[in-house]
Chain A
Amino acid sequence: MILLSLQGKLKGYDPRTNLILADCVEREYSLDQGVEMIPLGLYMIKGDNVALVAELDEEKDSTIDYTEIKAEPLGEIHH
């Protein structure tokens, strides 16, 4: 399973954690450059592929300079 770090507006979900995310932005982390924000649009995500859902603290998020953050991408989930 590839782990994507997606940001978007949660438009819907169900008991299987299937998600509908509007205005998605992928946050691509890498070690050699800052976080790359890639706009993706509307996504429907099958629950099996979801690891974690978290509410973004927009106030705190706006204080972080993501162009300066270098980190390895989140590891794959090995079941």
Chain B
Amino acid sequence: MLLIFSFFKTLTDQVITVELKNDLSITGTLKSVDQFLNIRLDGISVEDPERHPHMLAVKNCFIRGSVVRYVRMAARSVDTTLLEDATRREAKEAKK
């Protein structure tokens, strides 16, 4: 979990899309993330504003980590090799 937290921290100030467990998808700039994977987004827009006009008058939001289904980000913002190494290291630590 700590690894995912660190990974999300590297995405700070990038544009990501957060899909909630009620199918609402919100795109915005990641401003901060905490240990519960709560997410703060700035300059938000919803994927389908016709269907979900609930967020029209809102510019930034705090999303509770427990309601997040997916976080989508650009492939180039992920250093896969670094993540692989980190997961292996973590697995090794866990075995000890």
Cβ-defined contact, A79 with B58, below 8 A = no
Interface flag for B21 (CB, 8 Å): yes
Q: How many residues of A contact B (CB 8 A)?
A: 28
The B interface is mostly helix, strand or loop, or mixed, namely mixed
- A29 & B54 in contact (Cβ 8 Å cutoff): yes
Chain A residues whose CB sits within 8 angstroms of the CB of B22 once the complex forms: 3, 51, 74-78
Residues of A within 8 A of B66 (CB): 48, 79
Q: Which chain A residue has the least Cβ–Cβ distance from B61?
A: A54
Interface string of A43-77 (1 = CB under 8 A from B): 00001101111111110110010000101101111
Contact partners of B57 in chain A: CB under 8 A:
56-58, 60-61, 64
Q: Could you list some 7 contacts between A and B, CB below 8 A?
A: A27-B54, A54-B55, A54-B62, A56-B57, A60-B57, A71-B51, A78-B21
